[in-house]
Amino acid sequence: MSFPNHRPRRLRTTPAMRRLTAENRLAPADLILPAFIREGLTEPSPISSMPGVVQHTTESLKRAAAEAVELGVGGIMLFGVPAERDAQGTAALDPDGVLNKAIRDVKAEVGDCLVIMGDVCLDEFTDHGHCGVLDSEGYVDNDATLEIYGQMAVAQADAGAHVLGPSGMMDGQIAVIRQALEESGHKNTAVLAYAAKYASAFYGPFREAVDSQLKGDRRTYQMDAANRREAILEVELDLEEGADMVMVKPAMSYLDILADVAAMSPVPVSAYQISGEYAMIEAAAANGWIDRRGAITESVLGIKRAGADTVLTYWASELAGWLKES
């Protein structure tokens, strides 16, 4: 007697069976919440292109951090929006500037119960919107920018950041930041390298979130969407310079890159589900075209399945709440 091979289907028969045999699982600790704080606000300010996401005040940011701890979220990545900008992004170095103050405030609120991460990049702080300072011809000056990144990293570490996230894609940024941290006594401050960060059309809503002053694009220093092998080279360079973790950004449109990096990386791998990816799902759900909760969960699970150890997502706290319910 022959028996049809229905073995895969037998393992799908009930929700309990599917949970038991799932190859990948999400947990709140896998999630990192990106959060924006804007200088001078008296009330949280909604971001029109990212429904449900706001520019925080000090108090609302502290509440969001405390909620993340309660839900078991792994970390929070902080981005600051200053009231004043200049060509050098000097507000990024001010100990009382919006981002450094936010790090201190969150650290005072939650201590070491949440991994506090700071964005080490000048794009929010410059009046031209680029991730570094410009030379006389209008190109980003890599080496001059590195000097500022080192100072910025130390300022954030002084404020209490556990992890620094250099996102500017400057050559040599990890080595410079690692050296600056070592020399300033911050030997235990980790570095999450935005190692494979692509120039993407999906960053649009983020530009609203940080009130970006950018005219033009960042294609001369962020990666070309056509390139796959180059991502491994970028990751290898950051690992050689001392990165403690590496990131692929964006996530959903670059799952092949994420899988490649996860296969070769000896350190934890993060992926950033970026603003445009968030906005697309929210817009489709608002129109009744897709099931919102199902789409959110499936999208983040897909990033995890592709190899991410941790996922930066604007749904981190909401998703963590769902995971705790299940």
Annotated catalytic residue, options 62, 107, 215, 249:
249
CA-based angle 312:276:256, to the nearest 5? 65
Q: Kindly list the distances between the CA atom of residue 203 and the CA atoms of 65, 83, 100, 247, 278, in Å, as whole numbers in the listed order.
A: 24, 22, 24, 16, 10
The answer to whether 75 and 120 are in contact (CB under 8 A) is: no
Which residues, including other chains, have CB under 8 Å from residue 53's CB and lie 6 or more apart?
Answer: 36, 46, 47, 209, 278, 314
Residues 6+ positions from 16 with CB-CB distance below 8 Å? none
- With contact defined as beta carbons under 8 Å apart, do 255 and 232 qualify? no
- Is 62 noted as a catalytic residue in this protein? no
Tell me whether residue 249 is one of the annotated catalytic residues. Answer: yes
CA distance linking residue 89 with residue 120, whole number of Å: 12
3-state DSSP assignment of residue 193:
strand
Length of the chain measured in residues: 326
Query: DSSP assignment of 128-184, as one string?
Result: S--SS-B-TTSSB-HHHHHHHHHHHHHHHHHHT-SEEEE-S--TTHHHHHHHHHHHT
Alpha-helical runs (H) found in 161-254:
173-183, 204-209, 229-240
- Which one of the listed residues 107, 197, 215, 324 is annotated catalytic? 197
Task: Output the CA–CA distances (angstroms, integers) from residue 91 to 38, 39, 117, 137, 210, in the order listed.
Answer: 13, 11, 18, 24, 14
- Which residues are annotated as catalytic? 197, 249
